[in-house]
Amino acid sequence: MAPDFQTALDTEFTAASRRLALVIFTNWKELPEERSLATAYLKLFGQELAFTQLRKEALDIIKQKFTSPIDSYVNKLKEGVSFNPSKALVAVEMRHVVPTVVGLPMELGITSTAVVVSSVKVDVTKDDLQNARREASFQVRQSRARRFYLDGIFLDVQFHADAGSEVTHAVTRLVNETAQSLRLAKPGSKVIMNVPWSPHCTHDRCYDFVKLAEICDFLVVLPSDFNLRMGDDCFARASVPYDQTYAGLAAHIRLGIDSRKLLTGVPWFGYNYPCIHFSEPGRCKLKEYHVGESRCSSSVAKPILYKHIMEILPKSVTGRLWDDNSKSPYFVYKVNNTFHEVWYDDPESISLRSTLIRKLNLGGIACWYGNSLDYSVHPLAKLQTEEMWQALCPVRRKWRN
């Protein structure tokens, strides 16, 4: 079942909204129903010998409220609330020093607490709260961009949306408001958004991609979600097939999106598939994992960074293999009597995908992620890292002998 968009937004903005609420009403609490509270104590030589709690029932109620999860109050606020801000103040403090027969003073003290109520009634509606939370989130993003000297923001939006639904329009509004807010606070900032490999409601994400392209500086077409739904064919396969990558980019362009606003994405990680049955390389049978109507999915695999792939490859039972259909490398290794098939991208497969920049007049290429490579001083690691960066250049290189 597709996650509720409003719930997802609530989760995203909860932390920011709490910070905003603390700024507005620091140390203020809702007006208690009970009357003012008081405490009395007895001290000797500055040491407290006795302490009396007045209106213990009221204190127990307050204690319970303070220890209850704050999320329960957030949920109430979502539906709107009307309250009178109040603040506890020390109204009276009385002390009396009583001389004793041994010449040592004994101090008696009593303090009363009064509740001061503001004359302004505050009405918070659901829309007001949502706007405040969104604004708080925008402020957090802007603050991070300035603090870390970033030149833009990357949006990874993965809400399920039916074509023409309210969620579709909400995604567009969210991206637009984020972009406007960031550019106003930090002129020249770039806004980049991740989109599915195909614009045809892939994985139930029916967004207005044309409008999103107008709002954003770039859309990154990340094809690493090809195998999220494999249908009934439960066998390990390439993470980023070349032909599907080309077809997905071309489909975005046919919508009317300026090709120069599209970036082709390449993952610097692979997928490690455990085989429940292995007959030969390329025939790694997977256990079933239902996603929607599909009973097979790449979700059974574990993502593995390129630098870790290079550590396992020399220990594999097959060495590096090449699949001509998907134009992708893979290998097989065995551990604890279980065969594993690893599909990934390396300099040869990435250099092939880089040629799509010129073929389709794209805006460039994006990789996931920079820290997936080994930047140590080891000679082999340095060579592998250099080749991965060079593969992003859209010039076809011959990687195999």
DSSP string, 210-249: HHHHHHSSEEEE-GGGGGG--BT--B---SS-HHHHHHHH
Query: Would you say 115 and 36 are in contact if contact means Cβ atoms under 8 Å apart?
Result: yes
CA atoms of 354 and 240, how far apart (whole Å): 13
Backbone angles phi, psi at 345, to 5 degrees: -125, 140
Q: What is the pLDDT of residue 182?
A: 83
Q: What is the pLDDT of residue 97?
A: 54
In tens, the pLDDT along 206-265 reads 999 999 999 999 999 986 667 777 778 889 999 889 999 999 999 999 999 999 999 999
Fold of 130-390: TIM Barrel (3.20.20)
pTM: 0.64
In tens, the pLDDT along 299-337 reads 889 999 999 999 999 999 999 999 999 999 999 999 999
Every domain of the chain and the residues it spans:
5-124, 130-390
Q: What is the pLDDT of residue 149?
A: 64
For 360-399, the DSSP string reads TT-SEEEEE-GGGS--SS-HHHHHHHHHHHHTTSSS----
The region of weakest confidence among 12-16, 180-184, 208-212 is: 12-16
Neighbouring residues of 19: CB distance < 8 A, sequence distance ≥ 6 = 136, 140
Q: What is the pLDDT of residue 256?
A: 96
CA atoms of 108 and 117, how far apart (whole Å): 30
